[in-house]
Amino acid sequence: MNRRITTAVRMGVREFRRTPVLLALLVFLPAYIIGAFVLLVPDVDVPATIDGTRLTVPMTDFAAAFMTPVTVAILSGIVGLFLVQTSQAADDRLRLAGYTATDLVVSRVGTLGLGIVVVTMASVVVAVFAFTPESTVPFVAATLLVGLTYGILGVVVGIVLGRLGGVYVMLFSPMVDVLLFQNPLATDAPEWTTLLPSHYATNALFDAAFTSSIDAWDFGGAVAYTVGLLVIGVLVFYQATDVE
């Protein structure tokens, strides 16, 4: 990693650190969303369809597992949005000063990745207070993939829509995608919902949470989706910060 990239990542992390509202959200939202759902749901067993199999799981466990990707998707989207909104105006000046497109993209992806790792860790820590996943490492990996997917979406939405519109979209879309259409308690989701960003990652996450098996197809799909979005994100970011 060259000097320009390490400097930009270091400065990006400092900018995050100096944004108290964002830091407060990182701590507060996982505790509030995951914790509140776990406390509020009744202590009963519920039937859920995991990887095509009908299982019965405690409602509190389900709430903890289910609200983890919701929280991570919302927070990662906000982190991506914040990252691009705070840096976009100055990024083209940095390009003019000598950063290559690759330097800048790698720097921003690196900073975004660090932010998403923090979001994922904060959410998983709260979740494991309520339940123990059957397969912890795949559960964390799937959660991270949800975060990466929505973090990149946050960057793209931030460039295209601006701050206010972007915040609305990044709050609304995880609710529709994860909470509504990837919900294992729901039945007969339309076929097109398999195209939504979190489909494969949440399938992998519920597998890891409640079964000891790992579905390579879901993980592969989630990774492919993330890589595809990353390519789109890089192209949009490159276009937005392009200089002659």
- Minimum CB separation from another protein for residue 7, in Å? 4
Q: Using CB under 8 A, pick the residue from 60, 68, 87, 203 that binds another protein.
A: 87
What would the two tokens of residue 243 be? Answer: 């200089």
Looking only at residues 11 through 40 of this chain, which bind another protein when binding is defined by CB under 8 A?
Answer: 11, 14-15, 18-19
Q: What is the DSSP letter of 196?
A: S
Judged by CB, which is closer to another protein: 228, or 242? 242
The binding track of 92-131 with respect to another protein, each residue x by CB under 8 A or -, is xxxxxxxx--------------------------------
Looking only at residues 180 through 209 of this chain, which bind another protein when binding is defined by CB under 8 A?
Answer: none
Instruction: Give how many residues touch another protein by CB under 8 A.
Output: 23
Binding of residue 45 to another protein (CB under 8 A): no
Q: Using CB under 8 A, pick the residue from 21, 44, 89, 216 that binds another protein.
A: 89
CA dist 111 and 9 (Å) reads: 6
> Residue 193 contacts by C-beta under 8 Å, 6 or more apart in sequence?
181, 182, 199
CA dist 74 and 175 (Å) reads: 8
State the DSSP string of 47-71: EEEETTEEEEEEHHHHHHHHHHHHH
CA dist 69 and 178 (Å) reads: 7
Residues in touch with another protein (CB under 8 A) = 3-4, 7-8, 11, 14-15, 18-19, 86-87, 89-90, 92-99, 243-244
